[in-house]
Amino acid sequence: MKKTSVVLAVVIVAVLAVALAGFFITRAVHKRHAQVEARPIPRLVEKDGRFALMVDNAPFLIMGIEDLTMGDWPTRPGVWPALEYMNVNTVEIPVYWGDFEPQPGQYDYTAIDRLLDEARQHHVHLVPLWFGSYKNGHPHYMPDWMKLDPVRYFHAEDRNGQAVDSPSPFCTASLEADKKAFAALMQHIKEVDPQRTVLMVQVENETGDWNSVRDFSPAAQKYFEAPVPAEILKAMPPLTSAASPDWQQAYGPNADEYFNAWAVAKYVGDVAAAGKAVYPLPMDANVALRDPIHPGAPGEPGARAAYESGGPSDNVIPIWKAAAPAIDILGPDDYQNDPTSYLKALQLYHRDDNPLYLPETGCPGCARFFFTGLGLQTIGFSPAADTTVASLLGAKAGIAAQQKGDSNAWETYTPVDDFLTSWGMNFRLIGPMQREIARLMFDGKVQAAAEEPGNNTQILQLGTWHAEVTWGGFIHNPHGTAGNPTPEGRALVAQLGDNEFLVTGYYCRIDFRPAGTEEQQKTGQIVLGTQETPSALIDGKWEHRQFLRIQQVVYENGALKPVRSWGGLGGETNGLFFGDTPVVLHVSLTTY
């Protein structure tokens, strides 16, 4: 008996010691963060239909990456060199609900704390992705204790009453658990991140249902047969003039899909609102895109171009905006391989009520469309990649080093993968001046473009000047044939003053032509000259472009710093040529 008592006493002392240690460690962590001066909370602002993500009270452009190695990436060597090679300033990384809340009400902050520490060490920001009830339409990252109780935490059902691999948006128990856990995550981030390393948070991931157009469970059916909420009728005009129509009466053949969009949006919006009530960071919901040109059927497995029903696809954006006001951004995950489809998706989500942000995108060939996004005042792009796969970590360099006996081959490589290189080119060029570009975009002063197959020239309108972009030209085709062998050209012109511009790009030629005032342009009487120097006949007088000054510049601490007078290809006679080297020019113009 005495021995048992002694053992029990030892156990109790040990438990108390662990609890006290945890208490004092937590106090120490909170005290350390309390000593850091709190910076302004990131926020979204809108002006004249343009948006800016304000970080430290100034516009910020996310040049990010979604790392596909998920939660274990901080421990793997080689990831940070790859991200540094790309010059990213933000990393999207998932937080798994199942790991975060292994037992009801018990939260494990280890992963988010580690991510915050590593991000600060490498001077990047974070966008946590909350993998809660939904991950690609499935409940796979719910905690085990929820998966083991499918009666309480029930799934959606198809038309035949069979459970499908998607959560039911009408399961109150799941919703309340998700709200509680997400609020706990936001509370912790608020407490330990006065530096504002976290810029915003993605709520769930690619929500909706791949296996059924909607939830047909008894809980769902009750709402389907009830009147459509007034805010939805206002956002999405019904087919009938009847008062208080139900979903079928209001939307006919689209009733199932619209109903599911409302149900899922309300679920996600309620989770977001619970987190925002604790810590009001901007919040986004990403979109598993439907084909933007030839969409198929929603929630119909095996159908041509089938897509996820219920998520914020382009045809139900108004429903999502009305049902989930706590979600600030609906962001397309743009993996469209066809350039026309890729660009169409950008246009669909570039709206007066929605900041353009790509939480995911892919393929080396679409990297050039980052510049199209800049022309649409994007707040950021985050290409998705598994940066620890050998092919993405410069397999050629790593293997060669290994063959030479370098035991640190994978620590000292230079990434050569096309994906890292093509996106890295964007971020290395824009990165040093991203704050200035973000500000100029917010002020409506940026025009940008990317090369499209079959379209060898493009005009960027900048007040009384037009910037004429020719893809390729002298760079890849010494005989002057326009167009690059592989479409990869990109161009950006930002207006600093009436006759003053910031000019940059890759694989293109940029020149300027007088365009007249807005009133003169409306007359349609301007005649373009055909001589070597760009000119135009405006109100009966020929005006010829003349460069006052061309300087290669860099941005340092927000100020332009001249590097040298530009003596590169083109210049006074043939315009400004850009190859594969990051070059930024400060150009002043006049006419004669």
SS3 452: strand
Nearest to 198 by CA among 282, 275, 85: 282
> What gap in Å lies between CA 331 and CA 268, rounded to an integer?
14
Stretch (H or E) spanning 485: none
State both tokens at 228.
């459509």
Stretch (H or E) spanning 502: strand 500-506
Tally the C-alpha atoms within 13 A of residue 301's C-alpha that lie toward its C-beta: 7
Residue 438 Rama label (left phi>0; alpha psi -120 to 50; beta) = alpha
Cα dihedral sign for 163, 165, 167, 168? negative
Tens-digit pLDDT profile for the chain (592 aa)?
444 454 444 434 443 443 444 444 444 455 555 578 999 999 999 999 999 999 999 999 999 999 866 455 555 666 777 788 789 999 999 999 999 999 999 999 999 999 999 999 999 999 999 999 999 999 999 999 999 999 999 999 999 999 999 999 999 999 999 999 999 999 999 999 999 999 999 999 999 999 999 999 999 999 999 999 999 999 999 999 999 999 999 999 999 999 999 999 999 999 999 999 999 999 999 999 999 999 999 999 889 999 999 999 999 999 999 999 999 999 999 999 899 999 999 999 999 999 999 999 987 789 999 999 999 999 999 998 766 554 444 444 544 554 565 555 444 444 446 777 889 899 999 999 999 999 999 999 999 999 998 889 999 999 999 999 999 865 545 445 578 999 999 999 999 999 999 999 999 999 999 999 888 888 888 898 887 789 999 988 999 999 999 999 999 888 899 999 986 555 566 789 999 999 999 999 999 9
> What gap in Å lies between CA 353 and CA 375, rounded to an integer?
17
Return all residues near 33 (Cβ < 8 A) that are at least 6 apart. 191, 192, 193, 194
- For the chain, how big is the Rg over CA atoms in Å? 27
What are the counts of helices (DSSP H) followed by strands (DSSP E) for the chain?
17, 26
Q: CB atoms < 10 A from the CB of 443, how many?
A: 16
> What gap in Å lies between CA 447 and CA 373, rounded to an integer?
10
Nearest to 263 by CA among 296, 329, 217: 217
- Per the CB < 8 A criterion, the answer to whether 184 and 243 are in contact is no
For residue 408, the model assigns a pLDDT of: 54
For residue 544, the model assigns a pLDDT of: 93
> What gap in Å lies between CA 574 and CA 510, rounded to an integer?
9
> What gap in Å lies between CA 426 and CA 441, rounded to an integer?
16
What residue ranges in 303-385 does DSSP mark as E strands?
329-334, 357-361, 380-385
Q: Which domains does the chain have, with CATH numbers?
A: 43-391+418-439 (3.20.20.80), 445-591 (2.60.220.20)
Owner of token pair 């006996």? 405
Cα dihedral sign for 82, 488, 437, 444? negative
- Per the CB < 8 A criterion, the answer to whether 77 and 410 are in contact is yes
pTM above 0.85, yes or no: yes
Strands of the sheet containing 43-47, edge to edge, are 43-47, 50-55, 58-60
Cα dihedral sign for 90, 92, 93, 97? positive
Return all residues near 129 (Cβ < 8 A) that are at least 6 apart. 66, 92, 93, 94, 95, 201, 202, 205, 359
Q: What is the pLDDT of residues 209-228, one digit of tens each?
A: 999 999 999 999 999 999 99
DSSP 171: -
> What gap in Å lies between CA 543 and CA 75, rounded to an integer?
62
Q: Name the amino acid, one letter, at 60.
A: F
Q: Name the amino acid, one letter, at 173.
A: A
Nearest to 95 by CA among 62, 119, 72: 72
> What gap in Å lies between CA 143 and CA 98, rounded to an integer?
4
For residue 43, the model assigns a pLDDT of: 98
> What gap in Å lies between CA 89 and CA 426, rounded to an integer?
12
> What gap in Å lies between CA 587 and CA 578, rounded to an integer?
14
DSSP 228: P
Cα dihedral sign for 423, 429, 435, 438? negative
User: Percent of the chain scored above 90 by pLDDT?
Assistant: 73
Cα dihedral sign for 240, 242, 243, 248? negative
Cα dihedral sign for 257, 259, 264, 266? positive
State both tokens at 164.
């499908």
Q: Name the amino acid, one letter, at 306.
A: A
> What gap in Å lies between CA 582 and CA 427, rounded to an integer?
10
Nearest to 377 by CA among 398, 359, 352, 408: 352
Nearest to 228 by CA among 262, 270, 268: 262
Stretch (H or E) spanning 66: strand 62-67
Owner of token pair 């005006």? 543
Q: What is the pLDDT of residues 14-31, one digit of tens each?
A: 434 434 444 444 444 555
Return all residues near 472 (Cβ < 8 A) that are at least 6 apart. 451, 456, 481, 482, 483, 484, 485, 489, 507, 508
> What gap in Å lies between CA 95 and CA 73, rounded to an integer?
12
> What gap in Å lies between CA 544 and CA 533, rounded to an integer?
7
HEC string of 68-81?
A: CCHHHHHHCCCHHH
